[in-house]
A and B are shown apart, each in its own frame.
Chain A
């Protein structure tokens, strides 16, 4: 919801920095807030994180070169069907104004 508070663009760059600083301070302050009553919560949370990381570490990955080649192939295969990329004639595009027809 932070971005909703920035109404004037000339102030935004300063505000963005402040918020990132605040969120950094907040994230550093959080561990100090845990007390004995929350320790079992932390363990459950840590276990869930470890499990999640185990799942993520075990997935199969392919090389970036192969992934990039596939992305490029997809782009070139579909490029000719892409109206915004290729441009289609005004008569086919319902949004473009058609030339007025002259009645002879």
Chain B
């Protein structure tokens, strides 16, 4: 069980006792209530006096879970791969390594593409964050962070900044300047503060807001300029390892997956957990939305990748093979969503046919486990980052 220390969102007068103290933001009947932790306990004890015992609550909990399973089961009239039998079978992929990006001194843990489709940022265990030009293999910027294990990095939508974080429990934003002699590490600004390692970060639709997830079991939305916490998302009962923002412009949801084997879908404005999926048998290492925003895929240590549909509220496909016994650490969809690329701990990348559930191709080349796989924004190439200190571009 992780250290789920509460990041105090607000400090101020409690709604019930009017004493100034760190407030717990909880929701009762969708109404936000700001009570200090003492008053929350008092409220819980009052609930007990009304005849609600722990046992009765547990019973209601179990009944609701059963009802949820029944409701979901009623709509499972056909499997995705049965519906997809009409579509044509995909030919083998003619995808090869086109570029090998060497330069990191240690395991590459994360990478992200820039919206201009040619730059990418990668971070590694030795604390270095490098911005590359993928066409020319040029290293455009190099930032050295004081911490090791930079597990998360993201490119800002404008292309003018990168965010990175890891074992330092922070996520920092570094503005990229055109002046090559400038020391970028000096302009680094700490935005997110968690109580455990930062495992994933992404900018929202603008450079102004940053969404992070952490080993302390929470996700959080931050304002980059002021460093203020705008919203925190509580619900995971173990480390959160990955998150992904919904693709649509108006969408305000994101999905997160963690060591509690659950993938949760959250509403960014209210902080509410909208949907929860628990069918993996081990830690979920990565989650990624389908390009239409109606579904998402997850990769897990149980050697399977699973595909969940949000409107049907259930798992609709499992991508597994008896010959695959190593955990999957990362997934990404191709532009149309027909292909799912998954990186595994057995040093390979498998390409799956999303609709039919079959494996289309295996990409060999890396010499250690794959940590991250990302398709470029225009879909022309796939970049993979690995513990063998290199990144490869496949096209």
> Which residues of A pack against B, CB within 8 Å?
1-3, 6, 9, 12-13, 16, 19-20, 26, 30, 39-44, 46-57, 59, 61-72, 74-79, 81-85, 87-88, 93-97
Contact = CB atoms under 8 A, between A and B. Distances in A.
A46 B78 contact: no
Given A53-B61, A63-B312, A71 B379 contact: no
A94 to B, nearest CB: 5
Given A43-B48, A88-B380, A95-B135, A82 B75 contact: no
Contact of B309 (A16, A30, A71, A87): A71
A20 to B, nearest CB: 6
A95 B309 contact: no
B77 A65 contact: yes
Contact of B87 (A2, A6, A52, A76): A76
B104 interface: no
Nearest to B347: A9
Nearest to A61: B313
B354 A75 contact: yes
A46 B239 CA distance: 20
A64 B80 CA distance: 7
Given A75-B355, A95-B381, A95-B393, A16 B99 contact: no
A85 B380 contact: no
Given A50-B61, A64-B78, A75-B87, 19 more contacts: A2-B301, A9-B346, A47-B47, A49-B61, A56-B68, A61-B312, A64-B75, A66-B312, A67-B309, A68-B80, A71-B290, A74-B290, A78-B337, A81-B336, A84-B339, A84-B379, A84-B381, A95-B380, A95-B395
Given A85-B336, A93-B395, A53 B54 contact: no
Most chain A CB within a 10 A radius of its CB, from B80, B90, B197: B80
A77 B294 CA distance: 15
Most chain A CB within a 10 A radius of its CB, from B283, B292, B312, B354: B312
B220 to A, nearest CB: 19
Contacts of B309: 64, 67-68, 71
B68 A69 contact: no
B85 to A, nearest CB: 11
Contact of B294 (A13, A59, A71, A85): A71
B164 to A, nearest CB: 18
A23 B248 CA distance: 37
B44 A43 contact: yes
B180 interface: no
A43 B57 contact: yes
B8 interface: no
A1 B382 CA distance: 26
Contacts of A65: 77-78, 83
Contacts of A2: 259, 283, 301
Contacts of B314: 64
Contact of A50 (B60, B285, B316): B60
A14 to B, nearest CB: 11
A36 B334 CA distance: 53
B20 interface: no
